[in-house]
């Protein structure tokens, strides 16, 4: 059985030691880092699944988990305390035994106890001897002031006292359905415990007086809106040395509202917010280096020596150039040409001559290029002399075979190459391969886990086909790559979409959009080059369709394009969205972002409105493709046929 270096794809599956061993810093030009744990400004770290958020946050908490010396903590400049909100089990703070406001108060108290307990446990992990004794004394005095002397057993340590009080809440909440919440006392004002106890540490430990105490709060989406409001209040009213780094899914940040007089925390004032994949997207070369380093490290960790060759190069070889490709030839493009000319009632001899003119045996790619040129000229001129147009098209591409192609021709080939290759694979009934390191990294959509998942599936398929990619550094076959990429693509759609009806609606919209983009790309005369995006002004579109669009974006199925060609082409009213590159292989679409298909609001609705039937959607697609499909509505019976 082959070793699969990419088998572990989630940071939660790693031990602390593995987190450190596999951690790769993302360094971007002129950028000090993604997040600064010493900064007093709270920071939300959000994004889609698989951006590396948990890995980063656990890495930031590492120093404290290693039981460091005081010197090490002082040098780090902060005490990072990591926890997952799922551990709070927040969903239990509800039910008929109390009203919502009572549950909110109980949760706030519980959260304070939880944070305080984590803080005290962390202090005990760092401090020793007399220093610990002094801090513990401070903790106990503070607990007595805040909670009252009768609230806890005097024989308890501060950590035991907090654990006992938290347990008191646990038991009361658990018994609430049977006996109600009677007997539960909330003993502290919101926030008082954690901020006061944190102050003790920096006041009583000289070496730590400049240190920040940074709570690294992961899986924020596990808190309800009301619970997040309380946490947002802590963020707003935080007191030094405490600060927060909050991690969660983008859709899981439900609110920035607080309980402080209804005030809402504002980005830039009360918090900073980083979307991890946007950070990566802002420096593509840095992301590419980061991704390659991540993979290389994993391969080497399994003991495989790639002899200083990058792992992706070992697996896939260097990124292929146009001349490397062995494209499948079928001749089907000429069959379609003949049918289109016949449909336009072109005389039979002209049909045969036109097809012959554009047929370049052994050079199907160039033949298709000339055919595309022919379609562009023919549809524009609607000239009945198709033979002359075909001859001109053939002569135009001829320098690609022999001679010196013009810059215009080279640009034309460069622009249309990927679309023509996609058509050749589709005609051959083969999956379009996404070959080479750059394509795979681009496909990940700036989410490192996607790259790992893709490689994991590719390796599984390689094993299925009996390949041993690392054994003799032979690499992975195109067949295994294609199968792995397609499986990763399907996985992504299922993994990223929401659960339930919301997810089904998103899936329907994405499948419809993908089919539309595929049909445009595979049409005789695609209106856009390497189309993978759409834009629309969305005016008048039904709310239900907009809601599905928003969900697709927040769950990472679509990428909102906020700059670039949109503004120039359509003005600011148009919004542009790219099919997530992980989904592109399902439809043989481009993983890059080039052409975008402009949709009217009606067309947009037919894709995204869950109430629109398949028939109504298909009618729109047929209408839309008419102008891209030969013979483009041309019928020579209704034109001057004198030339024949």
Partner 1 sequence: MDYSLYQRDHFGIDSVADVRFDVFLSCHNDSERVHALFGAVSADRKILVLQAEYGYNPDEVSTDGEIHSLAFGDNEFGQWLQLLDSLQLDVANCRLAIDITGMMRPAVLVLPLVLKHMGFMSVSIYYTEPSVYAKGTATQFAKGNVRGVSTIPGTAGLPLGRESEGDLLIVGAGYDQELVSAVLESRRAALQLLLVGLPGLQPHMYQESLYQLSLVREEARDGGKNAVLYAPASDPFMTAQVISDEVRRRGQHEKRDLYLSPLGAKSQVLGFAWFYALEGRVREATIVFPYSDSYSRETSLGVGRVNRFVLEFGRMPEL
Nearer to partner 1, 87 or 540 (CB): 87
Pick the piece of the chain touching partner 1 (CB under 8 A) from 139-147, 176-184, 420-428, 628-636.
Answer: 176-184
83 binds partner 1 (CB under 8 A): yes
Q: d(Cα 151, Cα 169) in Å, to the nearest integer?
A: 13
Nearer to partner 1, 95 or 282 (CB): 95
Closest to partner 1 by CB, 83 vs 378, is: 83
CB of 214 to partner 1, least distance (A): 16
The binder of partner 1 chosen from 94, 254, 336, 338 (CB under 8 A): 94
Task: Count other Cβ atoms within 10 Å, centred on residue 428.
Answer: 13
From the list 160, 203, 478, 495, which residue makes contact with partner 1 (rule: CB under 8 A)? 495
Residue nearer to partner 1 on the CB measure, 116 or 355: 116
Beta-carbon count within 10 A of 582 CB: 28
CA distance 594 to 571: 17
Residue 560 within binding range of partner 1, rule CB under 8 A? no
Q: How many residues belong to the chain?
A: 644
State which of residues 96, 149, 154, 642 lies at the interface with partner 1 (CB under 8 A).
96
Q: Tell whether residue 572 is a contact of partner 1 (CB under 8 A).
A: no
Of 270 and 487, the one with the shorter C-beta distance to partner 1 is 487
Whether 588 and 425 have beta carbons less than 8 Å apart is answered as yes
Q: How far is the CB of 158 from partner 1 (least distance, A)?
A: 14
Question: Which residue shows structure tokens 């009583």?
Answer: 204
Q: Does 501 bind partner 1 (CB under 8 A)?
A: yes
Q: Kindly state the smallest distance separating residue 461's Cβ from partner 1, in Å.
A: 15
Q: Least separation, in Å, of the C-beta of 629 and partner 1?
A: 35
Question: Does residue 494 touch partner 1 according to CB under 8 A?
Answer: yes
Task: For residue 573, state whether it binds partner 1 (rule: CB under 8 A).
Answer: no
Sequential DSSP letters for 304-350: ---TTS-HHHHHH-SPPPGGG--PPP--HHHHHHHHHHHHTT--HHH
Among 133, 148, 177, 183, the residue binding partner 1 under the rule CB under 8 A is: 177
Which are the contacts of 464, defined by CB distance < 8 A and separation ≥ 6? Answer: 480, 483
Alpha-carbon span 387 to 208, nearest angstrom: 85
Q: What is the DSSP string of 452-517?
A: HHHHHHHHHHHHHTT--TTTSS----HHHHHHHHHHHHHHHHHHHSPSHHHHHHHHHHHHHHHHHH
Run of H or E including 319: none
CB of 197 to partner 1, least distance (A): 15
Helix (H, G, I), strand (E, B) or coil at 212: strand
Cis peptide before 36 (omega within 30 of 0): no
List, in sequence order, every residue forming a beta bridge with 561; answer none if it has no partner.
576
| 222/252 Cα distance (integer angstroms) | 8
Using CA atoms, how far residue 615 sits from 512, 543, 603, 618, 629, in Å, is 12, 21, 13, 5, 20
Residue placing its CB nearer to partner 1 in the complex, 169 or 357: 169
Considering only 262, 268, 429, 500, the residue that binds partner 1 (CB under 8 A) is: 500
Question: Nearest distance from residue 643's CB to partner 1, in Å?
Answer: 59
Q: How is residue 344 written in tokens?
A: 């336009």
Q: Which residue is associated with the tokens 């370049």?
A: 360
Choice between 31 and 174, CB closer to partner 1: 174
- The CA-based diameter of the chain, rounded to the nearest angstrom, is 109
Comparing CB distances to partner 1, the nearer of 12 and 474 is: 12
CB 98 within 8 A of CB 106: yes
Q: Which stretch binds partner 1 (CB under 8 A): 4-12, 202-210, 363-371, 406-414?
A: 4-12
Binding mask 203-222 for partner 1 (x = CB under 8 A): -------------------x
Token pair in block for residue 168? 């008191």
Instruction: Identify the CA nearest to 406 among candidates 416, 415, 417, 397.
Output: 397
Nearest to 389 by CA among 431, 427, 354, 440: 354
181 touching partner 1, by CB under 8 A: no
Is 166 a binder of partner 1 (CB under 8 A)? yes
Q: Is residue 88 near partner 1 by the rule CB under 8 A? A: yes
Closest separation in Å from C-beta 80 to partner 1:
13
Residue 182 in contact with partner 1, rule: CB under 8 A: no
Distance CA 116, CA 201 (A): 12
Inter-residue contact 131 to 205 (CB < 8 Å): yes
**550: how many CB neighbours lie within 10 A of its CB?**
15
For partner 1, give the closer residue by CB, 108 or 173: 173
Give the nearest distance from C-beta 53 to partner 1 in angstroms. Answer: 12
- Alpha-carbon separation of residue 145 from 138, 141, 151, 164, 185 (angstroms): 11, 6, 10, 17, 16
Tell me the HSE value of 510 on the side-chain side, using a 13 A CA sphere: 34
- Of 10 and 21, nearer to partner 1 (C-beta) is 10
| Both structure tokens of 88 | 């709070």
Q: Which residue is it, tokens 């290759």? A: 421
Per CB under 8 A, the segment of 7-15, 136-144, 394-402, 403-411 that binds partner 1 is: 7-15
What's the token pair of residue 482?
């294609």
Q: Does 1 bind partner 1 (CB under 8 A)?
A: no
Q: Smallest distance from the beta carbon of 167 to partner 1, in angstroms?
A: 6
Answer whether 242's CB lies under 8 Å from 195's CB.
yes
- Tokens in use for 621? 């697609």
283 binds partner 1 (CB under 8 A): no
Q: Which range in 9-17, 261-269, 346-354, 370-378 contacts partner 1 by CB under 8 A?
A: 9-17
169 versus 371: smaller Cβ distance to partner 1:
169
We find the least distance from the C-beta atom of residue 180 to partner 1, in angstroms, to be 10
121 binds partner 1 (CB under 8 A): yes
Number of residues that bind partner 1 (CB under 8 A): 43
Inter-residue contact 188 to 146 (CB < 8 Å):
yes
Least CB distance to partner 1 at residue 8 (A)? 9
The contact pattern for partner 1, residues 125-164, with x = CB under 8 A and - = no contact, is --------------------------------------x-
Residue closer to partner 1 (CB basis): 429 or 500:
500
To the nearest whole angstrom, how small is the minimum distance from the Cβ of residue 77 to partner 1? 23
Q: Which stretch binds partner 1 (CB under 8 A): 28-36, 81-89, 194-202, 619-627?
A: 81-89
Q: Which residues bind partner 1 (CB under 8 A)?
A: 7, 10, 12-13, 15, 82-84, 86-89, 91-92, 94-97, 114, 117-118, 121, 163, 166-167, 170-171, 173-178, 222, 491, 494-495, 498-503
């Amino acid at each position: 059985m082959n070793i699969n270096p990419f088998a572990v794809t989630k940071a939660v599956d790693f031990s602390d030691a593995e987190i450190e061993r596999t951690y790769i810093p993302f360094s971007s030009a002129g950028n000090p880092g993604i997040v600064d744990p010493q900064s007093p400004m709270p920071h939300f770290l959000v994004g889609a699944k698989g951006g590396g958020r948990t890995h980063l946050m656990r890495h930031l908490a590492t120093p404290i988990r290693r039981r460091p010396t005081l010197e090490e903590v002082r040098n780090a400049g902060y005490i990072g305390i990591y926890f997952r909100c799922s551990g709070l089990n927040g969903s239990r703070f509800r039910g008929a035994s109390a009203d919502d406001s009572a549950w909110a108060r109980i949760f706030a108290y519980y959260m304070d106890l939880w944070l305080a307990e984590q803080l005290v446990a962390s202090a005990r992990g760092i401090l020793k001897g007399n220093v610990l004794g002094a801090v513990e004394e401070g903790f106990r005095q503070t607990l007595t002031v805040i909670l009252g002397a009768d609230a806890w057993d005097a024989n308890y340590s501060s950590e035991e006292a907090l654990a006992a009080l938290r347990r008191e809440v646990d038991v009361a909440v658990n018994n609430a359905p049977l006996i109600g919440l009677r007997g539960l006392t909330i003993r502290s004002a919101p926030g008082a415990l954690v901020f006061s106890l944190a102050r003790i540490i920096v006041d009583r430990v000289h070496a730590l007086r400049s240190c920040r105490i940074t709570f690294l709060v992961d899986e924020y989406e596990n808190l309800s809106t009301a619970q997040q409001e309380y946490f947002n209040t802590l963020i707003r009213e935080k007191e030094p040395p405490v600060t927060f780094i909050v991690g969660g899914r983008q859709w899981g940040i439900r609110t920035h509202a607080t309980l402080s007089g209804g005030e809402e925390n504002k980005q830039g004032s009360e918090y900073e917010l980083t979307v991890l994949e946007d950070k990566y997207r802002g420096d593509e070369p840095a992301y590419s280096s980061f991704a390659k380093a991540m993979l290389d490290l994993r391969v080497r960790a399994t003991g495989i020596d790639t002899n200083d060759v990058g792992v992706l190069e070992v697996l896939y070889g260097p990124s292929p150039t146009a001349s490397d490709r062995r494209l499948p030839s079928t001749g089907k493009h000429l069959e379609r040409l003949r049918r289109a000319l016949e449909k336009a009632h072109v005389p039979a001899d002209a049909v045969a001559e036109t097809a012959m003119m554009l047929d370049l045996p052994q050079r199907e790619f160039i033949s298709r290029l000339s055919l595309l040129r022919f379609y562009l000229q023919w549809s524009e001129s609607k000239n009945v002399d198709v033979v002359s147009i075909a001859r001109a098209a053939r002569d135009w591409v001829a320098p690609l075979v022999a001679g010196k192609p013009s810059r215009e021709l080279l640009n034309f080939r460069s622009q249309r190459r990927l679309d023509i290759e996609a058509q050749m694979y589709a005609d051959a009934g083969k999956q379009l391969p996404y070959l080479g390191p750059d394509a795979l990294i681009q496909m990940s959509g700036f989410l490192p886990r996607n790259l790992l998942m893709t490689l994991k599936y590719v390796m599984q398929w390689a094993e299925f086909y009996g390949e041993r990619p690392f054994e003799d550094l032979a690499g992975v076959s195109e067949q295994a790559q294609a199968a792995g990429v397609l499986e990763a693509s399907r996985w992504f759609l299922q993994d990223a979409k929401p659960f339930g009806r919301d997810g089904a609606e998103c899936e329907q919209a994405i499948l419809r959009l993908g089919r539309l983009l595929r049909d445009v790309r595979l049409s005789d005369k695609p209106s856009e080059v390497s189309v993978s995006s759409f834009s629309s002004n969305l005016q008048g579109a039904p709310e239900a369709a907009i809601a599905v669009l928003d969900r697709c974006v927040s769950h990472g199925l679509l990428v909102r394009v906020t700059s670039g060609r949109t503004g120039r082409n359509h003005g600011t009213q148009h919004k542009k969205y790219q099919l997530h590159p992980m989904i592109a292989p399902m439809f043989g679409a481009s993983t890059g972002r080039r052409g975008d298909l402009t949709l009217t609001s009606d067309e947009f609705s037919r894709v995204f409105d869950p109430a629109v039937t398949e028939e109504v959607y298909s009618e729109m697609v047929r209408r839309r493709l008419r102008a891209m499909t030969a013979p483009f509505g041309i019928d020579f019976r209704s034109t001057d046929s004198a030339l024949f």
